[in-house]
Amino acid sequence: MKTTSEIIRRNEELELQYHKALNTIAALKRKIAKLQKENKELLEENKKLKKYNNILTRAIEIAIQIKDYNAQTRHLQLVLQKLRETGEFKG
C-alpha cells in the first residue's frame, strides 16, 4: 500500500512528464510548420526549374533543326536573352 506522500510524489513526477511532453509536442509542431514552409518553397522552386528546363529543351530541339550554325547560335542567344529579360534565367 502506498502512502499519501508517495502518491503525491508520483503525481508530481507525472505532472512534470506531462508538461515535458506538452513542450515536446509544441516544439515538434513548430518544426513541422517550418519544414512544411520549406517544402512548399522547394516545390515552387522545383516547378520553376522544370519550366526552365522545358523551355531550354524546346529551344535546343528547335536549334538542332536549324542547319546554319550561326542561326542556331542566334536562336539560342535570343532564347537566353528573353529568359534574362523576364527574370527567369540568371545564367
Give the per-residue pLDDT at 28: 98
Alpha carbon distance 76, 62 (integer Å): 9
User: Domain coordinates of the chain in residue numbers?
Assistant: 4-85
Residue 77 corresponds to which cell in the numbers above?
Answer: 542567344
Give the per-residue pLDDT at 44: 95
Give the per-residue pLDDT at 85: 85
- Look at the block and give the residue holding cell 536562336: 75
Give the per-residue pLDDT at 88: 64
Residue 47's identity, in one-letter code, is K
- Provide the terminal-to-terminal Cα distance of the chain, rounded to the nearest Å: 77
Residue 11's Cβ-count burial label (10 Å; 0-12, 13-18, 19+) is exposed
Inter-residue contact 80 to 64 (CB < 8 Å): no
Its pTM stands at 0.64
List the pLDDT tens digit at each of the 91 positions of the chain. 779 999 999 999 999 999 999 999 999 999 999 999 999 999 999 998 898 899 889 999 999 999 999 999 999 999 989 888 887 666 5
Give the per-residue pLDDT at 20: 98
